[in-house]
Amino acid sequence: MQKGYLLLSDGSLYEGKVFGNDSICCGELVFNTSMTGYPEILTDPSYNGQIVLMTYPLIGNYGVDEEWNESCGINATALVVKKLYEGPLPEGKMSLESFLKKHNRCGITDIDTRALTLHIRRCGSQNAVIYPEGKEEEAKALLSTFPSITERDLIDGVSVKKVTENPSLGEGFIEAPKNPKYNIALADFGVKRSIIENFYRRNASITLLPPDFKSFDVLDKSYDMLFLSNGPGDPALLQNVVAEVKKCIGKIPVCGICLGHQLITWALGGKTVKMTYGHHGGNHPVKDLDTGKTFVTSQNHGFMSDMSTLPESVHLWFINANDNTVEGLYDAYKQVRSVQFHPEAAPGPQDATWIFDKFLEEVE
C-alpha cells in the first residue's frame, strides 16, 4: 500500500495508506457506527455517492462473501478505516481489499477515525477526496468543483430501468413465492435485496417500477400496495415522484422505508431537511409512541422529516430516542405508513422486522 491522503472540503487533511483502486475518489463523507456488516454497508445503494467512515477500529477480519451483498456491487464511493485487516480469512472468503479492487473502489487505512468522526460531528458531513501521494493538485481541483449531495442525482445508477417482475435476488436469498397472497408495486430508488426478501417471506410478489413511474402504472393494475424503497440523495430533488405518489395516496395503501418515508412526507404536504451528520449505523434506539416500547434499529440517512410541516391528520409513529427526530409516521384514514429506519437491517439488529407485517396490515 502506498501513502495517501483524505482531504475534506473545509481543508482538514488526514494521512494514511490507500488500498483497493488507487485512483482519486470524491464524495460526501459520513461515519457509520456499526461494528460489523461492512459488505452489506458497501453494497447498500443508499450509500451511492458517499465515502463511508467506519468508527469501529478493525475492519475486514472476516472477509467478504458475495452472498452478503445488498446489490450487484459496491455502491459506496470509498471506505475509510482505522486499521485494514490483512490476515488469514475463513475458507472461501475474499479479502476486503480484493473486494474493493474487484469493484473498482478505493479505500484508505491508518486514519485517526476517532478524531475524524468527532470532526464530522462538530462540523457536519461534507465532501472529501481520497488520493495517493503525488496527486494533490488533481485532488484539490476535483474537490473544489464537486457538487454537494443536495445537487446530485444519485438514483439513476442504482435503480431498474424497466418494470421487473419478481426479481431473482441471487445466492443466499430466498426466491419469490409461487402462490402469493399479496401483489406489491415497489418503486425502486435503490432497493436493498433484503427488503424484497422480507416481502417474499411474507408471501408477497414484487413488481419493481423504475423511479420515473406514473400513478397510472400503479392504479390501473391490480396491486395491493405501492411501496417506496430506500435510496440515495436528497428527496427534495424528486418532486416529479412526489406528484405521482400524491395521486396514489387515498386510492391504494402507500408505504415506504428511508427515502421512501421522506417522499411520503413530501406527498402528505410536509418537507424534509438535511441533518448535520445524519444517522448511519446499527445501534440507533427508536421509541414506538403507540406502545411506549423502545428497540434498536439499523439506519442510513442524511435527511429527515420536519413534523411541524405535516398536517394534523398525520400521526407521529416513532421518534429517535437519542435526538427525538422523526422515525416513522402514518395516516390511518389514507392508509399511509412509513419508517425512516431500516427494519430489514442487513446489517444490524432485526428488532424491527415486524414492521413489514404492519405494512401488509394496511392491505388487510
344 is catalytic: yes
The residue annotated as part of the active site, out of 70, 255, 342, 362, is: 342
137 is catalytic: no
How buried is residue 166: exposed, middle or buried, by Cβ count under 10 Å (0-12/13-18/19+)?
middle
The residue annotated as part of the active site, out of 106, 244, 258, 362, is: 258
258 is catalytic: yes
The residue annotated as part of the active site, out of 40, 327, 344, 362, is: 344
The answer to whether residues 348 and 34 touch, using CB atoms and an 8 Å cutoff, is yes
For residue 275 the three cell numbers come to 441533518
Q: Is the peptide bond before 45 cis (omega within 30 degrees of 0)?
A: no
Active site residues: 258, 342, 344
